[in-house]
Amino acid sequence: MYRAKTELAWIGLMLVLTGLLTSGWAILQLSEGLRELPRHWWSGLATTPLLAGLALTAIGLVRARHPVD
């Protein structure tokens, strides 16, 4: 059971890495950089893996530290 919980954290970390790469790429494509992101919501979708990864990593780490019987 502990392994499944830590795997969730690893999946989350991989999503964070993917989100950082896709967000960085999207921001570089915008003429004004990060300041322009709110006006281009479709570029903001590149941050979705980052947000999901942060959530999964947090859930996985909390579950691994606090086992439920």
Q: CA-CA distance, 16 to 46, in Å (whole number)?
A: 11
The boundaries of the domain holding residue 18 are 2-65
Cβ atoms < 10 Å from Cβ of 52: 16
The pTM of the full predicted model, rounded to 2 decimals, is: 0.73
Domains: count for the chain:
1
Q: What is the pLDDT, as a whole number, of residue 39?
A: 82
Residue 2 confidence class, pLDDT cut points 50, 70, 90: low
Structure confidence by residue, pLDDT tens digits, 16-43: 999 999 888 988 888 888 788 778 778 7
Instruction: Say what percent of the chain tops pLDDT 70.
Output: 88
The CA-CA-CA angle for residues 25, 43, 54, to 5°, reads 75
